[in-house]
Amino acid sequence: MMSSGVLMGQYYPAESPVHSMDPRAKIAIAVLFMVVLFVGNNFYAFVVMGAFAFLAAVMSRVPAGLLLRGLRPIVFVMIFTMALHLFLTPGPAIFKVGPITATWSGLVQGLFIGVRLVILIMFTSLLTLTTSPIELTDGLEDILKPFTRIGVPAHELAMMMTIALRFIPTLLEEAERIMKAQMARGADFESGNMMRRAKSLVPLLVPLFVSAFRRADDLAMAMEARCYRGGEGRTRMRQFRLHARDFLAFALIALVTAGVIAVRVRFGPVIPRGL
């Protein structure tokens, strides 16, 4: 009820080859892709990586609008870094504004950084758009499992994430209820300066924390009552299995990686002729 429907992750449910991929494969590919993105340092590499990201986006059947919306928060950062590169890279000048000079090499570098950021954000949001939060945490747990030997609490981390995700809507609903209860007592959450507003949150936050702690206690008790004792020997209802499509994706990303590395070794940080 209430104003729920907000914030169930940003998962976009659909049926597509990307959606049905093994989440472990998706996470691994996303991580590898990010590394490769920063290895690639010339035009050809960006063409290859851009094409790969584009292919993945098209196959995922996620509306382009949703993907582009993920870019909104970084627009400012992007413009800022591009401007910095444009003006701070030494080289032949395009134009001068007082003491600062815009350079051709700065323009190219700025564009590279910009494109890199766009591809990075689009590709990683594709991961969360096509993988449900539960799949994501389960996949993460599996990937982290080998590291339990060196003290990484893989299962605990995943369980914490799952619980956090599960309780986001609950806490939102509760916050709304407490807010209304305080408004019924004349509380005002909307007007006043920064200080006043921050202070007006106390009647909301204290009860919210109190109940969150109580809820946490109850949940811990309920889990223990059902013999929860961590991840050891625990099995899962959904078992992940790698399919042909996952291997295909692996092969593709391997190809991209090899290509980008080869291009880097062969050409170095080149700009295609004509630019």
Residues that bind other proteins (CB under 8 A): 1-5, 177-178, 180-188, 202-203, 206-207, 210-211
Q: Closest approach of Cβ 71 to other proteins, in Å? A: 24
The Cβ of residue 141 has, within 10 Å, a number of other Cβ atoms equal to: 21
Report the half-sphere exposure of 224 (CA within 13 A, side-chain side): 6
Beta carbons of 254 and 28 less than 8 angstroms apart:
no
Of 3 and 193, which has the nearer Cβ to other proteins? 3
Instruction: Compute the distance between CA of residue 261 and CA of residue 248 in angstroms, rounded to an integer.
Output: 20
DSSP 145: G
Q: How far is the CB of 198 from other proteins (least distance, A)?
A: 15
The answer to whether 24 touches 250, Cβ cutoff 8 Å, is no
**Minimum distance of other proteins from residue 66's CB (angstroms):** 16
Report H helices in 131-153. Answer: 133-144
Of 184 and 227, the one with the shorter C-beta distance to other proteins is 184
Q: How far is it, in rounded angstroms, from Cα 219 to Cα 140?
A: 23
DSSP tag of 237: S
Alpha carbon distance 42, 51 (integer Å):
14
Least distance (Å) from other proteins to the CB of residue 124? 27
CB-wise, 121 or 178, nearer to other proteins? 178
Smallest separation (angstroms) from other proteins to the CB of 204 = 8
| CA gyration radius, the chain | 24
Q: Which is nearer to other proteins, 184 or 225 (CB)?
A: 184
Q: For the CB of residue 65, give the shortest distance to other proteins in the complex, in Å.
A: 17
For other proteins, the closer CB: 180 or 266: 180
Q: Measured on CA atoms in the order 196, 199, 205, 206, is the torsion positive or negative?
A: negative
Nearer to other proteins, 32 or 187 (CB): 187
